[in-house]
Structure 1
Amino acid sequence: MQDQKDSIGIEPPIQIFRVTDYGALPDTGEDSTSAIQAAIDAASAANGPTVVEFPPGQYDLYPTNAVKSAYYISNTASEKEHPDPTKTIGLRLKGAHRIHIEGNGSRLLFHGKMTPIVMDGCNEVEIRNLTIDFARPTISEMRITATGASHWDVEVHSDSAYRLQDGKLYWVGEGWSHRGGPAQEYDPVSNRTWRVPNPIMLANQVEQLGPGKLRLRFNSAPHTSVGHVFQMRDGIRDQVGALIVGCRNIIWRNVWMQYMHGLGIVGQFSENLNFERLRLAPDPSSGRTAAAFADFVHLSGIKGKISIVDSVFEGAHDDAINVHGTHLRIEGVEEGSRIRVRFMHPQSYGFNAFHPGDEIDFISARSLTSYATCSVVGIKPLSLREVELTLDSPVPDTIEDGDVIENVTWTPELSVSGNVFKRIPTRGILATTRRKVTIENNVFDNLHMSAILIADDAESWFESGMVRDVLIRGNRFIDCGNRQAPVLLIRPENTHVSADLPVHRNVIISGNRFELNGAPLLEAKSTSGLIVADNDILRNGCRDGVSDDSHEIIRLRACSGVEIVGNTIEDHAAVIVKTNLMKDEHLVIDKGQAAFIRRVDENDI
């Protein structure tokens, strides 16, 4: 392109735009929002590669002078929950090309409810060496100092402002307040979090004992332990930690997100996203235990390659990484080559999910398998929920009620390697993409639910789609999951279940170390070409103290082409593989692993 080299092919010099030259005032507490945005806008308008530079320091950003712009974002808030899609944006890069945001270790401190960064329609942009935090995180925290039969004594974190009114506790922040909402309990000894009923709503009375010290009175106090921390929030995803939309070739390197309000870093209909050495965790010196209001990284409708490497994910309120597409339900056929489709999940709607030339698959809602493929030649939005698509060929005549379409063009390759996952109340990685997925050399430590989930559905979250090439290799899984949530879970939500009609294919689980504490190692459904090989398996008993000697480690339903070979069972106990809707030829087991098969009929599942 002309802006990359001059007329004789010489790379133009890099231009540097320092935010302090535009009026940003580090280490003063003054509002630097407008000045930072002015530097970004100037760099975006310049011809050639540019750097927006933050001289080291702390920069405060407030909502008052921030850019306000409407963005519809997948998996955030429904029309009923929060009808206004306006985002209050700290740093907006719109149409930027060949820009580096150089933080030099600076800290951006946000106030109120804000979306710290939006990258909209950008190409070749890198953000590096930056820390982001909030002055008043929208998750409030309190630590248990004493318990009784009908009361708790708690110490509220100094960052969690509150007020008492008529014996009730209200959390207050910069422009917001609430009482109810989701809550989590954190055990600092095990470094484990899990979801619980909100204790503020259970309490009959809240009394002030001293500055930051409260007594919660109950009819019967919920069970907890001294030292545990409760984390509470309002549950409305009205902002996000960052938005990358309509972008290409984006790099985030050495960025520390100490807190994110709403959903986390969201990528939507973008191409080639690279995340290196992220730290998504609270600052240990802050004493806070939560760093994200929901997911850490949520990537929907991406193409090209996603790379997430050498990063730390610790202290979320939902999944660490979720990569998926969106199934839209077929609502009607308009003439021979036009269809009307609809966003179905309340929290996903309004965004542009199709482009001319995109390839789409028609997916059976019952089997979650594809039965036809077309290309999009025209898009006509009918509302924020419905879209009419004109296709390059006639609509198949085999459509059934509930069937959906998936945009195949916007499905990515995914590589997640060298990361650490801790203090996650749900899952570590959710991956549903038909292109190559590699999850290797990660540590999953004490995740409350499955470390890895491969789902796919057309009736709940409407998150697509099928997987075709997954390698889970060289990871360490430490005490993850529970009896209902296996460490590795392959659970498509198909209702037509048969080993002859797999949803997922070619999943290899090899060379991992599983340290089990009562949870099954694997549950898989409707998967063909599943290989579990050369893994080290150690069973540490059960977290609830009940022996798991007779508990199945692998559960298989309607799977085929399964091989369980070469694994090492360190406690030499029998491994039970429970099967259903499978024939003998569907499963090969190396008997030297001390494994045997216990077959059950469908009613026993």
Structure 2
Amino acid sequence: MGIKRRCQLVLGLFMAFTISVNAKEIIRIQPNNEDMTTVVRDAIEGVKDKEIKLVFEKGTYTFLPNYAKEKFSFVTNHGNGLKKIIFLFSDFDHVEIEGNGAEFVFHGQVEPFQFNNCGQVSVKNISIDWDIPFSFQGDITAVNPKENWYEIKPYTKGYSWKLNKGRIYFPNIDGFHFASLGSTLAFDKDTKQVAYGAFDMTLRPNKVERRANGVLRVYDENIKHYPKVGSVFHSKGPHEQNRYAPAFQVTNSKNILFNEVVIHHALGMGFLFERTENIKIINSGIYIKEGSDRAISTIADATHFANCKGDILIENCRFEGMLDDGTNVHGTYVEVAKIINKNTVRVKLMHFEQTGFEFAGKGDEVWFIKAPNPGRGEVNTVSNVKYINDVYTDLTFTNEISSDLKTGDVVENKTWNPVFTMRGCTIRDHRARNIIIKTPLKIIIEDNDLSSMMSSIMLRGETYFWFESGNVEDVVIRNNRFKHVAYGGASEHAVLKVSPRLGKSFDQTMSYDRNILFENNTIETFDNTIIWADRVDGLIIKGNTIKQTNTEKPQFPNAYMFELINCKNVEISKNSYKGTNTHHINADKLTKKTLKVKRNKGIKE
């Protein structure tokens, strides 16, 4: 009897027993040396009830795209399209996956997990990886800016690429390759941190030549910032192509738990949640596998939450090596494209990676934000939604629309905003920010160890590019340990940066974010800027210990420790500073009217 047939027979007997006990189908799966995609697909599609539990015996499971479920998917902040999905769960009341330490290894362009419209989801004790990463990386052996070339010795074992007619093709898997090197970044070979002073670059070399000893000489007349010899150069392909799908995508679901889940690689984000309620990620991680020579883990954010609500908790987690933020929590601004009648407006999704996103549903409350005032205006309730296409939607409201609403104004969903807590986490050695967050409800960030290429924590609503809403109103950042912050190149960053990015139609001086407490944190970093606050009403910076280190040379030696622009009701008290920076507080005229500075050590007004 074949392996699959024996497995199905055992599963059938076991399922019959469990159905009679608790109405939940429990499916036990054992590893073998074959592709497990069909086994998993058959198990899920064969369930007759709305509750399922998959129990995996400890071992290694391989999943190939050949027999994956195909489904067209809108995936926010990724590329929409036909996705090959291994674990597809739709319309279940309860999904439980017990991994028992199982290792899931995926191959090629696949989306590992997608949960749609599920009432309860629990995933425990599994790890996720790819046999071959969607990366091109190597050691920089020489640079010659005068002749517009650099030399790189690409990694070969465990990687897939080829050189053909002067072009690098990667990952060169199952007939797929990127059109160019695309998004590229330098890393420190020893620490696997983003290299000090490194710049994000988009590369499309003019020509590539083979040299001796496995070295390639790459000619690129457009490169502006050459990596240092000895650094690791990593490319992930063009931005429009390099985010196939997250490891876990959860949409229109609720009561989600990820416990002891580790992601070593993904072809996009690690965890992505859209219009989902009540989420816990605990005791989990995203990081490079021990002993691996890879420079990165996931291609994009570790965790991402778009228009979620209820409580979000991230606790006791480790996020490292991602090529974007540790977490991004936000709503979505849509632009008013047309006022159809006194109760109906046509709205437009503004960013190409938001197309197809469900902005609002029937019964949702929304705010209208009318330029030039960036503040939240009147509230109205959606009574009907008419989907036009993946960019435009008509929203009809229970009450008449205000007569001063105009095209170009924006709408924000009031119903779908979460309470957010991050506690006991380590986030480091990755591109971009540790935490970027926008929700008007309670935010608590406490007892974390944070190190960042850019700003460690950024509060930034924007109606300009990403159209991610909105302003914060209740933030507590306390008892965290910030070490080695803002060490990448390009623009100036800070430990905490509050900096809205609003379109030209909005008043750039009016208050936007409110009520932020930055308290009892320990900061050890080499550069000057600790807090950069723009358009904040209510900011308390209290009881923090700041120590300037000499690990790197300051990139902005004339920057101020506290940069305050168009702020109100700012208090800087009981903080201590040790270091050589003499630029302490820079406040404009408006900020000074209500600024309080008292009982600090080593900080002068």
Q: Are 1:488 and 2:496 an aligned pair?
A: yes
Contact 2:119–2:255 (CA under 8 A) maintained in structure 1: yes
Q: Distance in 1 between matches of 2:142 and 2:409?
A: 54
Could you tell me how far 1:546 is from its partner in structure 2?
6.9
Aligned residue number for residue 41 of structure 1 = 45
Deviations 1:4-31 (A, max 9, x none): xxxxxx98276521124xxxxx241x21
Matching residue's letter, 2:366: I
Q: Are 1:349 and 2:349 an aligned pair?
A: no
Could you tell me how far 1:168 is from its partner in structure 2?
3.1
Aligned residue number for residue 3 of structure 1 = none
Could you tell me how far 1:42 is from its partner in structure 2?
4.0
Distance 1:357 1:511, change over 3 A: same
Aligned pair partner of 2:27 in 17, 22, 46:
17
Q: Counterpart of 1:182 in 2: which secondary structure?
A: strand
Q: How does 1:351-390 map to 2 (within 5 A)?
A: 351-390=357-396
Q: How does 1:319-358 map to 2 (within 5 A)?
A: 319-358=325-364
Deviations 1:73-109 (A, max 9, x none): 22223xxxxxx62211111111222331011111111
Aligned residue number for residue 7 of structure 1 = none
Q: Distance in 2 between matches of 1:547 and 1:100?
A: 50
Aligned pair partner of 1:297 in 303, 310, 335:
303
Q: Distance in 2 between matches of 1:268 and 1:282?
A: 26
Q: Distance in 1 between matches of 2:365 and 2:118?
A: 24
Q: Distance in 2 between matches of 1:331 and 1:219?
A: 41
Q: Are 1:531 and 2:530 an aligned pair?
A: no
Aligned residue number for residue 173 of structure 2 = 173
Deviations 1:100-156 (A, max 9, x none): 101111111111111110011112210111111111111222123566786525141
Contact 2:576–2:603 (CA under 8 A) maintained in structure 1: no
Could you tell me how far 1:444 is from its partner in structure 2?
1.1
Q: Are 1:142 and 2:151 an aligned pair?
A: no
Distance 1:569 1:379, change over 3 A: same
Q: How does 1:571-582 map to 2 (within 5 A)?
A: 571=579, 574=582, 576-582=584-590
Could you tell me how far 1:565 is from its partner in structure 2?
0.5
- Gaps of at least 5 residues in structure 2 are 1-19
Contact 1:276–1:309 (CA under 8 A) maintained in structure 2: yes
- Gaps of at least 5 residues in structure 1 are 1-9, 21-25, 78-83, 598-605
Could you tell me how far 1:517 is from its partner in structure 2?
1.3
Q: Distance in 2 between matches of 1:224 and 1:341?
A: 44
Aligned residue number for residue 65 of structure 1 = 67
Query: Could you state the TM-score of these two structures normalised by the residue count of structure 1?
Result: 0.88
Could you tell me how far 1:519 is from its partner in structure 2?
4.1
Matching residue's letter, 2:157: S
Aligned residue number for residue 455 of structure 1 = 460
Distance 1:391 1:214, change over 3 A: same
Q: How does 1:435-454 map to 2 (within 5 A)?
A: 435-445=441-451, 447-454=452-459
RMSD over aligned Cα, in angstroms? 2.4
Q: How does 1:145-224 map to 2 (within 5 A)?
A: 145=141, 151-171=150-170, 172-178=172-178, 179-193=180-194, 194-197=198-201, 201-202=204-205, 204-207=207-210, 209-210=212-213, 213-218=214-219, 223-224=226-227
Q: Counterpart of 2:108 in 1: which secondary structure?
A: coil
Q: Are 1:256 and 2:265 an aligned pair?
A: no
Q: How does 1:493-512 map to 2 (within 5 A)?
A: 493-494=501-502, 496-497=506-507, 501-512=510-521
Deviations 1:409-449 (A, max 9, x none): 0000111111111112211111100110111111112x110
Distance 1:37 1:511, change over 3 A: same
Q: Counterpart of 1:286 in 2: which secondary structure?
A: coil
Matching residue's letter, 1:315: G
Aligned pair partner of 1:233 in 233, 236, 241:
236
Q: Counterpart of 2:590 in 1: which secondary structure?
A: coil
Could you tell me how far 1:356 is from its partner in structure 2?
1.4
Aligned residue number for residue 555 of structure 1 = 563
Distance 1:31 1:569, change over 3 A: same
Aligned residue number for residue 603 of structure 1 = none
Aligned residue number for residue 274 of structure 1 = 280
Aligned pair partner of 1:587 in 556, 571, 595:
595
Q: Distance in 1 between matches of 2:50 and 2:236?
A: 44
Contact 1:480–1:519 (CA under 8 A) maintained in structure 2: no
Q: Distance in 2 between matches of 1:591 and 1:528?
A: 22
Give the number of equivalent residue pairs.
568
Aligned residue number for residue 572 of structure 2 = 564
Could you tell me how far 1:226 is from its partner in structure 2?
4.6
Could you tell me how far 1:160 is from its partner in structure 2?
1.6
Distance 1:541 1:577, change over 3 A: farther
Q: Distance in 1 between matches of 2:359 and 2:535?
A: 28
Among all aligned residue pairs of Structure 1 and Structure 2, give the percentage whose two residues are the same amino acid. 24
Q: State which drifts further: 179-188 or 525-534.
A: 179-188
Contact 1:368–1:457 (CA under 8 A) maintained in structure 2: no
Could you tell me how far 1:551 is from its partner in structure 2?
3.4
Matching residue's letter, 1:54: F
Q: Distance in 2 between matches of 1:273 and 1:551?
A: 39
